[in-house]
Amino acid sequence: MSSREMILDAVRRNQPTASPLPEVPLFDRDQPPAWQRFRDSLERMGGKLAEPAPNGDLGALVKQLHPDAKVLCSATTEVAGNRAIGDVDKPRDLDDVDVGVVRAVFGVAETGSVFLSESELGVNALGYLAQHLVVLLDPADVVDNLHNAYHRPEFREASYAVLMTGPSATADIEGVLIHGAQGVRSLTVVAAPRSRP
């Protein structure tokens, strides 16, 4: 048995017994409607909210939002792109994507965040290498606060998950805010009800 195997074996044999997590209250209280709070929080963090196109054509709406985009990569079947997420061999292959399109599982009104996991992104780098990210979100899927969000099963089921709030941003010591410094330059959430079975 190698040293590595001996160490790993010792770690496996000496795992602490599982104990239940503490019960955390949800801290629900009277608030304005969740969608209204989500919109306000999203915009405060530099994100944008777009109402769906009246005819329901999400692809046309994405083209209207980003008319100069050359490479559109969609991780959802609701919007067709010209770069198939299934054809991406290496995450770095997404470095020329102008617009990425995903559907969020849910949003959080308190922070204006959207929940994305490896299931929604297809390739995790899509959420960071694309110049602009368009997120489809059903207004009925917005929870009140982070306490409610952490009770969702997606946190336990996902291998990778992120609560994304607005575009990437950084500020220097003089307080100059720069969007898109380390990730997407813009994040637009589209109010798009999901089809329910």
Confidence of residue 144 (pLDDT cuts 50, 70, 90): very high
Is the residue at 7 inside a domain? Answer: no
Q: How many domains does the chain have?
A: 1
DSSP structural state of residue 21: P
Decide if 79 is inside a domain: yes
CATH number at residue 66: 3.40.50.10420
Angle, CA 181 vertex, CA 111 and CA 115 arms, to 5°: 30
The model's pLDDT over 52-74, given as tens digits with 9 standing for 90+, comes to 877 889 999 999 999 999 999 99
17 falls within a domain = no
Assess whether pLDDT exceeds 90 at residue 82: yes
- What is the average pLDDT value for the chain, to the nearest integer? 90
Digit-coded pLDDT (tens) for 106-141:
999 999 999 999 999 999 999 999 999 999 999 999
Cα distances (angstroms) measured from residue 23 to each of 16, 99, 145, 149, 189: 20, 40, 16, 14, 32
